[in-house]
Amino acid sequence: MRRILVIGIGTGNPEHVTIEAINALNSADVLFIPTKGAKKADLAETRREIIRRYVTNSATRSVDYQLPVRNAADPSYQRGVDDWHAAITRIYQDLFLNELGEDGTGAFLVWGDPMLYDSTLRILERVRAAGGVEFEVRVIAGITSIQALCAAHRIPLNLVGKPVEITTGRRLAESFPEKSRASVAMLDGEQAFAKIDDPEAEIFWGAYLGSEHEIVISGNLQEKKQEILETRARARAEHGWIMDIYLLRKGADFDDEA
Ligand SMILES: C[S@@+](CC[C@H](N)C(=O)[O-])C[C@H]1O[C@@H](n2cnc3c(N)ncnc32)[C@H](O)[C@@H]1O
């Protein structure tokens, strides 16, 4: 049966790649590499650098595929994502049938870790459900952007004994700071932190984490908001793209203990 490896590669530093991932890369016949257009060329380049550094098996080859773009104009976010996943499902199915022998091993190099805001595993289940091709899946864990953020700021993610929410920029205002006192916001194209006016909130922000362009800013949200907005806009203009993430936090260790 075909085997699909879903390999977490970390968030931009080739040194994030684990030994387990290196062994998995070298066990693959084909590495599937998404291309996302010129703006995200740096991301494709990180994957290529990982392959250059670590893949020593001369029988392993790379196959590029064009990742479709989600229709952001669809008024229904869910339908937009569903249609996008359906298009990727068809591409995966073709890749498996055309590029892998019946006992071949293919691998996806997933940014960060496949369990965090990534749909590779979800889409693989759609391919399986579609029934045209059989395969088994193995996942190799990677360093996530949340870990890279906390490492860059030298902070633990949680306050002692307290929960942490992981959410998107789109939904941050639903929870922080009323329902959640610690929220990690990812995929934030609208800078949702800027609309939060709690005077006690702290922010730990990071962009291009793990890469040579890494930027981090932290402090009281109201005091740092403007600096982050300006830094982010400048960096985005310079590189043509940005990936950023932040932890918003209110409170301290032990402040709700009797
Ligand atoms: C589609 S999600 C993928 C997350 C990934 N699977 C992970 O484990 O981190 C993309 C989001 O992750 C965050 N992200 C990923 N890599 C990052 C990096 N190097 N620096 C800052 N944020 C990053 C950003 O919030 C970005 O919008």
Tell me the per-residue pLDDT of 40-55, one tens digit each, with 9 for 90 and over.
Answer: 677 778 888 999 999 9
Q: Measured from the CA of 114, which atom of ligand 1 is nearest?
A: 6
Residue 38 pLDDT exceeds 60: no
Closest C-alpha to 1, from 100, 125, 99, 140 = 100
For tokens 């892998």, the residue is 100
CA of 151 to the centre of ligand 1 (A): 14
Which residues have C-beta atoms less than 6 Å from ligand 1?
A: 11-12, 111-113, 116-118, 144-145, 186-187, 206-210, 243-245
Asked whether the beta carbons of 225 and 197 are under 8 A apart, the reply is: no
CA of 59 to the centre of ligand 1 (A): 31
CA 213 to chain centre: 17
43, 84, 111, 203: which to mutate for ligand 1, most atoms within 8 A of CB? Answer: 111
pLDDT at 91: 95
Closest C-alpha to 103, from 75, 136, 68 = 136
CA of 150 to the centre of ligand 1 (A): 13
Give the separation between CA 86 and CA 189, rounded to whole angstroms: 24
Q: Measured from the CA of 187, which atom of ligand 1 is nearest?
A: 27
Asked whether the beta carbons of 100 and 110 are under 8 A apart, the reply is: no
Give the type of residue at 172: L
Domains along the sequence of the chain with CATH: 2-143 (3.40.1010.10), 146-249 (3.30.950.10)
Q: Is 131 left (phi over 0), alpha (psi -120 to 50) or beta?
A: left
CA of 10 to the centre of ligand 1 (A): 9
Write the pLDDT tens digit of every residue in 106-116: 999 999 999 99
Joined tokens for residue 150 = 């906390």
Write the pLDDT tens digit of every residue in 187-196: 999 999 999 9
CA of 227 to the centre of ligand 1 (A): 21
CA of 242 to the centre of ligand 1 (A): 10
pLDDT at 168: 97
- pLDDT bracket for residue 56 (50, 70, 90): very high
Query: Atom 5 (ligand 1): residue with closest C-alpha?
Result: 112
Instruction: Look at residue 128 and give its three-state secondary structure.
Output: helix
DSSP β-bridge partners for residue 137: 4
Mean pLDDT lowest among 14-23, 83-92, 227-236: 83-92
